[in-house]
Amino acid sequence: MDENKKPTILIVDDNPNNLVLVNNLLKHDYRLKVANNGQTALRIAAAQEQPDLILLDIMMPEMDGYEVCSRLKADPRLRDIPVIFLTARTSIEDEQHGLELGAVDYITKPISPPVMLARIRTHLKLKASADFLRNKSAYLEQEVQRRTRETVAVQDATIEMMASLAETRDNETGNHIRRTQSYVRALAERLRQHPRFADFLTAANIELLFKSAPLHDIGKIGIPDSILLKPGRLDQHEFDVMKTHARLGGEAIAQAERMTGRPVLFLHIAKEIAYSHHEKWDGSGYPQGLMGDTIPISARLMAIADVYDALISSRVYKAPMAHEEAVKIISAGKSSHFDPDIVDAFLELHEVFREIAARYADQPETAPLDPVEA
């Protein structure tokens, strides 16, 4: 056998005669390392090229074999190295104690060469199988992580593409999207410990809310240009058509859900937001006239984010409203337009909203010209 392919065995014994005896039995089939005390054994075991198996005497000065085994099994780098006790202690209690410490076998002296060789071969085969399974498991875990990263990247790119597509048909800017998704995350973080919202507002779901929020107006892709881009206020008929964007967006995302053939949480949340962010707490909203807790939490969060941003943003028919006035209007909508607990959270962190709005402010030449507060 190629010397480099031979398994390595560490022999630990303070008796030179025992080291010579075991060395002579094993030297033709294995690469051997020796240690005459526990400290040296631990140092050799922890070297870059670790042994494949350790033959360990129990009765040694300063540090006995039991202590050496305990330290090996306590070290994550060394605990998978199989340990066979090779000792003159023959009592059942000694054998039981050694196995409880994590040794794989217990061979008593005087040594029977055929028995020792057979047990070494057996445990080396078991270690090789265990190593293979660990390596396979590690590979599969890495592969799952890689594919998960790819899935998340595709998901993020899809959201960005769909949101950008909606932007090309609307007069709102990308900064509106960045502002509203940041408002939603701020509200969600504030409410994550609230008993009404804690079950839903996990860290993972808050991240999905942030990612899905840009799709809230994706349905505007289906609104005619004559209405969507009208440079002025809409009449009642036009406004009724504009309101259909919520249903169009929700149905488009629902279709994407059906095409996947399995539940996809980010699509589910995006659908809720697109379909229901114009619903009102008192049931006077659209498109379904949902009331109170029947409105998805995601949509209730988006409702405040979207209305606040519409109020502080420039429109073709109005100047941007001051932050303080927008706060008053949101506050006045408590328990009528908006979930009262979410309004309370907004009032607690309205200065954060002001900071987000300033951070992602529209430039004068790209100020949004959305014809309605839709």
47's CB contacts (< 8 A; 6+ apart) are none
pLDDT given for residue 161 in this prediction: 66
pLDDT given for residue 71 in this prediction: 95
pLDDT given for residue 374 in this prediction: 42
pLDDT given for residue 370 in this prediction: 45
Residues of the chain with pLDDT under 70: 1-4, 155, 159-174, 316-317, 364-374
pLDDT given for residue 278 in this prediction: 97
Are 162 and 215 spatial neighbours (Cβ–Cβ below 8 Å)? yes
**Per-residue pLDDT tens digits for 246-258:** 999 999 999 988 8
| Cα distance between residue 98 and residue 110, in whole Å | 18
Residue 192: exposure state from Cβ atoms within 10 A (0-12, 13-18, ≥19): middle
pLDDT given for residue 307 in this prediction: 97
- From the CB of residue 146, how many other CB atoms can be counted at a distance below 10 Å? 10
Alpha helices, DSSP H only, in the chain? 16-26, 38-45, 65-74, 92-100, 113-169, 174-191, 203-212, 225-228, 236-260, 265-276, 297-312, 323-332, 340-348, 350-359
70's CB contacts (< 8 A; 6+ apart) are 101, 102
pLDDT given for residue 174 in this prediction: 62
pLDDT given for residue 176 in this prediction: 87
**Per-residue pLDDT tens digits for 57-91:** 999 988 999 999 999 999 999 999 999 998 888 88
pLDDT given for residue 179 in this prediction: 93
CA Rg value for the chain: 35
For the packed helices 297-312 and 174-191, what is the interaxial angle rounded to 10 degrees?
Answer: 130
| Cα distance between residue 281 and residue 183, in whole Å | 19
- What pTM was estimated for this model as a whole? 0.61
pLDDT given for residue 142 in this prediction: 85
Parallel/antiparallel/unpaired status of strands 53-56 and 8-12: parallel
pLDDT given for residue 373 in this prediction: 43
Are 94 and 56 spatial neighbours (Cβ–Cβ below 8 Å)? no
